[in-house]
A and B are shown apart, each in its own frame.
Chain A
C-alpha cells in the first residue's frame, strides 16, 4: 500500500501559542487511520492543515509521494482531500443538494443541481444512508447532517477522507453504523483518517493509530497489537482512574419532577409526563437514545424553556417550573448545559468575567456601583488552578479561545463556586478527552459526597453506568424504566430500544 497523505514536521501557532510542534503523519489508501489524542493535543489543527484551512508555519504536505502546497480548502479538495468537521460546515437554510453543489461547483446552476442530486442518490444508496437531497439541513437530525457532510465530501471525489470526531454527536447505535460504513469505504480504496479520543473506536475500527500529545505526534502503532492501557498512557502521559466512592446513603428527596409535559412550537410533544425524583447525595442518571426529550428535560430544568404542565419541585424553594433565573439561582441549582457556548459561556468575554457572573447578586465583587476587579482576578486565578483549566495564558483572555474540555472545566468551576444543592448536567463530558472527562466526573462525585442531588443526562451509557446511583431510561419524553446501581447494561439497552 502506498502513502496517500503525508504530513511532515508541521508547525503552527495561534497568537504566539504553539498548537502544532513538528507533527508528522502518514495515511495510506485502504486503511482507517485513527488520530488519537486529548482535547487540545492538536488533532483538529493538524487535520485543518491537511484540509487547507490553516496554513502551516513550517512543514511539508505530500499526496501520493509528491509534495504539494495548499492555498486553501479548494486546492485541498482538488487534491482529493475531503474533511468532515466536528462542527459541520453546512449552510442550514440550504438543502442537501445545494450544500453539495456549493462545495462541488458546476458551470450551470439548474443542470448542476440535477447532476448533483443524482450523484447524491448514488452515494446515499451505496452507503445505505437515509437522507433526501431536497431536504433542508435545518430540518434534519445531527446524524443526518453528518451523512450530508460525508456525502458532500464523497461526491467531490475525495480519496482521502478526514473525519473529525465523527461519533461525538451520535448515539451508540448511530456511531457503530457510521464506523462500519467508514470501514467499508476504506476497504474500497479510500484513505480514511479518524480523528477521535475514544479508545474503543480506535481498538475496534482502526488499522493504524497515531497518537498526539501537546502538538506532537508521539507514536504510530497497530491498535490491535497494543492494549488499551498502553494507548491511554501514550495519550494522557499518565493513567487516571475514577476515584473510589462511598456507598450511597438515602438522603431526603431534594428534587422532584412531576408529570412534566412540553410541546414544541412545531407541535411535537417532547416531554410526556416525565416524572422522577432525586435524593440528596445521589446521582440520578438519565439514559436514552438521543431525541427522546433529554434535551428538553435539561432545558426545562435549567430554565431555558417553560414546561406546559407539571412541576419541578426543589427542597426549600418549592415549584420552580416557571421561575426565572434569579429564583433558580436562589434554589441553588447549578447548570452544566450540553451547549457550553450557547448557554454557559460568553465566548467574547474574558475568563474572569465568565467566572464572576455567578456572584453577580452576592456582592462578592463589590456593590452595584463598584466592581472589585482585584478580587475577581484573584478568584479567577484560583479557580483556573483548582479546576485545572489548561490553555489559559491570562484570566483576561477570551473564554472562546479555550478548547472544549477546558471550557467545560470553566463552566463547572463557576457553577460549583456556589456549592449547589441541585446539579443538572447534560452531556457534561461530550467532546472531552479522557483526562478532562475524569476531572468532570470527579467533580460530580465530589458534589454528590457533599450531599447535592445530581441529574446526569447523557447519551454515553458508560458515563451513566459508572456514575449513577439510580438510572432512569427516557423514551418519547417519559421515564419508562428505572434501575438501581449496579445496573445491568443489557437491561438498560433493552429498555431504551423496547419502548421506542
Chain B
C-alpha cells in the first residue's frame, strides 16, 4: 500500500507540470481580456519543437525546451494578430489556431521523420540529503529540474501580475480596456504581450511532455491536456495559486491511471480519463450557483477593444 502511494505520488508532479504551466500561460493572456483557447495547439507546437530540437542537436534538453517556448510564442503571434489587431471573434480564432496546429505539427513531424524516436530527457535533480528521506524524498526531492522551476515560475508570474506596474496594466486592460486606454495604457500592446508571454509557458508545457515526460514525439501526443488547462483556468478563477493546486489535483488523477492498471485493479480507463472534465464541470456548477454572483472573471474577457465607438 505504501509502495503504491509513493509510486503514485512520485509520478504526480510530472503529470501535473504541463497542466500547471499551460494554465498559468492562459491566465496571463486571459487576465489581459483575451479568451485564449489555443493551449492544445500551442502545446503540440511546443512538443514538436522540443522533440525536433532535441533530435537535431542530439541532446541538450534545456535548449530544446527553450526552442519549444520560442516556437509556441511565434505561433501565438498569429493568434494575437487575429484577435487583438483584427478583432476577430476570440473563440473562433482560438479554435482555428488549435486545428491548424494539430494538422501542422502532424505534417511536420511526419515529413521530418521525428515520430517515435527516443529522446534523452532530463536527469532528476536530487536535493541531497532531503532526497534520501524514505517516501517523502522520492515524492518531493527527486524530481526533474522543471518541476522545481515550475514553482519558481509561479512565484514569478504571481509577482508580475500583482506586484508590478506591468501586471497592473495587464489586469486593467482585461478588466476595463476603456479605462486603461484613457489612462494611457496601450490595450493592443499589452494584450499582445500577455498572449505571447503566456504562450511561451504553454510551449514549455508542451515541450516538457515530449522532451522530459514521454521522451518521444507522437502526433497529437498532448491528448486533450490543453483543453483541461482551459477548464483549469475557470476552475482556478483566473488566479495562479489555485491553478497550481488544480493542476496537482488533475496530475494526481492522471498519475493514478497507470498505477491502478499496474496494480491489476480493473477500472474502465475512460472513466478515469474523464474525471478531470467531470471535476471541472462540478466546479463550474458550484461557481454558478453561488449566491454572491461574483465570478472573478476578468471584466472584459473575450471583448475586443475599439476606441472610437460611440454609445
The residues of A with any CB-CB pair to B shorter than 8 Å are 14, 19, 51, 53-54, 72-74, 77, 83, 85, 87-94, 98-99, 101-103, 105-110, 112, 265, 341, 347, 400-401, 403
Contact = CB atoms under 8 A, between A and B. Distances in A.
Nearest to B165: A109
24 contacts: A14-B308, A53-B182, A54-B308, A72-B184, A73-B183, A74-B183, A88-B179, A89-B176, A89-B178, A90-B176, A91-B175, A91-B176, A91-B179, A93-B175, A94-B171, A98-B168, A99-B179, A102-B180, A108-B165, A109-B163, A109-B168, A265-B293, A341-B311, A401-B311
Which of B183, B292, B307 neighbours the largest number of chain A CB atoms within 10 Å of its CB?
Answer: B183
Given A90-B176, A94-B175, 10 more contacts: A19-B310, A74-B184, A89-B178, A91-B180, A91-B299, A92-B176, A102-B172, A102-B185, A106-B165, A401-B311
A109 B158 CA distance: 14
Interface string B149-193: 000000000000001110111011001101111111100000000
A94 B172 contact: yes
Contact of B175 (A14, A92, A101): A92
Given A90-B179, A92-B299, A77 B172 contact: no
Interface residues of B, number: 27
A102 B175 contact: no
A99 B182 CA distance: 11
B291 interface: yes
A14 B178 CA distance: 18
B185 A401 contact: no
A101 B164 CA distance: 11
A51 B292 CA distance: 37
A53 B291 CA distance: 39
A73 B172 CA distance: 16
B184 to A, nearest CB: 3
A169 to B, nearest CB: 15
A108 B310 CA distance: 35
Nearest to A400: B311
Given A92-B176, A265-B291, A400-B311, A101 B168 contact: yes
Contacts of B299: 91-93
A98 B165 CA distance: 10
Nearest to B174: A91
A432 to B, nearest CB: 15
What 6 pairs between A and B have smallest CB-CB spacing?
A74-B184, A103-B183, A89-B179, A89-B182, A91-B176, A91-B175
A73 B181 contact: yes
Interface in B119-163: 163
A77 B163 CA distance: 25
Contact of B184 (A77, A83, A91, A106): A77
Which of A91, A93, A265 neighbours the largest number of chain B CB atoms within 10 Å of its CB?
Answer: A91
A73 B184 contact: yes
B305 to A, nearest CB: 13
Interface in B252-311: 291-293, 299, 307-311
Which of B307, B308, B309, B310 neighbours the largest number of chain A CB atoms within 10 Å of its CB?
Answer: B310
A107 B176 CA distance: 22
Nearest to B169: A102
B172 A109 contact: no
A265 B293 CA distance: 9
Contacts of A19: 310
B239 to A, nearest CB: 12
Given A74-B184, A341-B311, A105 B165 contact: yes
